[in-house]
Amino acid sequence: MIENVFTSSWFYWAVGIAIGLPVGLVALTEWQHALRKRESFLVRPVTLLRNYLLPLGALLLLLTEAKQVPAGATSVRMVGTLVAFVVLVLLLSGVNATLFQGAPAGTWRQRVPTIFIDVGRFLVIAIGLAMIFSFIWGANVSGLFTALGVTSVVIGLTLQNSVGQIISGLLMLFEQPFQLGDWLDTPVARGRVVEVNWRAVHLETSTGLQITPNSVLAGASFTNLSRPVGKHKLTVTTVFSLDDPPNQVCAMLARVAADLPQRRQDAAVFAAPLGASEYRTTIPLASPADDGVAKTAFLQWVWYAARREGLHLNEAGGQFSTPEQVADAVHHVVAPTLRLGSDDQRELIPNATLERYGAGEVLQRAGEVPERMTFIVSGRVRLNGGTDDGTEITIGTLDEGGFLGQSTLTRQAVIGNAHAIDEVTVVHVEREHVETMVQRNPLLLQEFGRAIEERRAHARKALKAASE
């Protein structure tokens, strides 16, 4: 009896399965943990192999080899069907992990759209299931494929327009001329790509969601504003008077554009005359999403800057700094700060200038030595300081009666920027006239020195707190 057991083939199959299954599970578990630590895409195929294929394969061998169950038995067919299906899923998962999920950037494998992968997976599963039912269960699947083929032809002829759009969309997706998040300028709309499906591309525009069929994009030319990366530029055309010096106009436009917060810092702005009183300003921006905000701010700032420099934007001019307005500003704002009497005020009025700045404009730049003092007549000004990582933090705010440029007397560079929070009206007094007033009242120099140190100390404290 014992000799018959050892000479039977089923005994060795049973012992092999009893030993091989635990050993295989332990080995696959260690492999699974190692792949998970490396965040490998092969974790899912190995998990399928460990949790499903290995136990089912052991069960199938146990039935057919150890227990000698006939291959035509229902239990063997059911287990064999499960094993074949898991092998099919494992094959698809392994191919997807090795070819597509781990594909290097820029290769054809990385550019293959998910739709193509899904369609291919569906076809492989359909063919695999047909083969499983044919070889394991003996089913006749040829009639099913014939019926499916005839049905596909009928559906294709009925829906040829829709199918054409789908094919156009698939071909365009394979080429990948754009990705989600890119900005497109098409013949029908301009916006950001938020969705791409088999039939259409969805663009988020300023007026709503624009649905553009893939066949329209595939048959027309369009511009991808987001590619190449870091090359997007905004072009703005302005008109000035023929009497305005072109060099002065271009310098003013370039200076205003350079102060825009949306400007890409690694590229320079460029302004040039086009003839017939027109000027073109090219502004490099980080993203097409900033076009609207940057253009609005630029045109607003140019309006104020042109009037400050006596230029005629759109061939229009205007007189803002009248002697009466300057006298009123000197009397209410400058005189209390500089402690000016009536005679001093009358002497200063011809040498003072009244100017306006738009919201967001720069009144003072970090690192420059002021050539004049600036007194705020109306509006608010925000003082900013730069941290080590390049970000700006708010140091303080000045409102009516405040002043900037007090370091003009000590010839010290300012440590922060000053931006207009809203429309700001200021009075400028040149350095030599401030010196004259200070010589008449030496205590002012001490007060200015104290103000400079207080602001610097406050700025250092704010910057230190921001860096911690």
Percent of the chain topping pLDDT 70:
82
pTM strictly above 0.75: no
For residues 58 and 329, what is the distance between their CA atoms, to the nearest angstrom? 95
**Higher confidence at residue 207 or residue 169?**
207
pLDDT band at 1 (very low <50, low <70, confident <90, very high): very low
Tell me the pLDDT of the chain averaged across its residues: 81
Report the range of poorest mean pLDDT among 48-62, 185-199, 446-460.
Answer: 446-460
pLDDT of residue 158: 55
* pLDDT value at residue 468: 61
Q: Let me know: does 234 contact 282? Beta carbons within 8 Å.
A: yes
Q: Is the model more confident about 254 or about 218? A: 254
How are the residues of the chain apportioned to helix, strand and coil, as percentages rounded to the nearest 5? 55, 20, 30
**pLDDT of 285 above 70:** yes
| Token pair for 298 | 């630029």
Residues 6+ apart with CB under 8 A from 380: 397, 398, 399, 420, 421, 422, 424
- How does DSSP classify residue 237? E
Range among 198-212, 277-291, 329-343, 376-390 rated most confident:
277-291
445 vs 155 pLDDT, higher one = 445
Report residue 168's pLDDT band, with 50, 70 and 90 as the boundaries: low
10 Å Cβ neighbour count for 426?
Answer: 24
| Nearby residues of 441 by Cβ (< 8 Å), 6 or more positions away | 338, 339
Q: Which residue has the tokens 């597509």?
A: 100
Average pLDDT over residues 267-293: 91
Higher-pLDDT residue of 386, 189: 189
- pLDDT band, residue 179 (cuts 50/70/90): confident
**Which pLDDT score, from 0 to 100, does residue 377 have?**
92
Name, in order, each residue with C-beta under 8 angstroms of 257's C-beta and a sequence gap of 6 or more: 263, 269, 271, 281, 283, 298
195 vs 282, more confident: 282
pLDDT at 50 over 50: yes
Q: State the average pLDDT over residues 277-297.
A: 91
| pLDDT class of 245 with cuts at 50, 70, 90 | very high
3-state secondary structure of 189: coil
Asked if the model's pLDDT at residue 163 lies above 90, the reply is no
Q: What is the mean pLDDT of residues 126-131?
A: 81
Helix (H, G, I), strand (E, B) or coil at 335: helix
CA 145 to the chain's CA centroid? 48
| Contact residues for 248 (Cβ-Cβ < 8 A; gap 6+) | 309, 311
Lowest mean pLDDT among 16-30, 62-76, 354-368, 426-440: 62-76
Give the tokens for residue 236: 């703005």
In 167-231, beta strands by DSSP E: 183-185, 190-196, 200-205, 208-213, 223-224
24 pLDDT above the threshold of 50? yes
**pLDDT value at residue 393:** 79
